[in-house]
Amino acid sequence: MDISTESGLKMLLCRAGSLVCGLRIESVAETMRPLPIEPISGMPEFVSGLSIVRGAPVPVVDLARLLGDESDTQPGRFVVVKTDARRVVLAVSEVTGLRTLDAKSFGGLPPLLQGARADLVSAVGSLDAQLLLVLESGRVLPDSAWSKLRAAGVET
């Protein structure tokens, strides 16, 4: 996503451990209270398991762990995001609200951050003197995890 070409970005802001993250509102299906999570073996450590959302099993990703924040906090909210034709639940500490942010206030990833998470974090900015990570929700769960879920019999 070329974030610099857009004027105002409507984002859902959430906290994942000590990190503040923004998700483009177009990629958010809904937010809800946390639901029970059934662990699945063989998944990456940031995949907590599956939850039944609207009658279908959906993978739950601990967003703080995915971004490398090892804070051990229970999810305060679930954010269901669309990833192409699939859905993924992001377990976050809290949802702080909707904001329209100026795209010009964001920059690309600094060279030191262009590693393993460059596919997930599309831009970096600041909000109220805190670092704000703009996420690409379509890339929160790698293809290898989707394959393991299919192998375990989960319809994806």
Ordered per-residue pLDDT tens for the chain, 156 residues: 444 445 678 999 999 988 899 999 999 999 999 999 999 988 999 999 999 999 999 999 999 999 888 777 789 999 999 987 889 999 999 999 999 887 776 766 555 554 545 678 877 777 887 888 888 887 788 888 888 888 887 776
Scan for tokens 């984002």, then name that residue: 11
- Supply the pTM of this predicted model: 0.85
Contact 77, 94 (CB under 8 A): yes
Contact 101, 3 (CB under 8 A): no
Q: Are strands 47-53 and 56-62 parallel, antiparallel or unpaired?
A: antiparallel
- CATH numbers and ranges of domains, the chain: 3-151 (2.40.50.180)
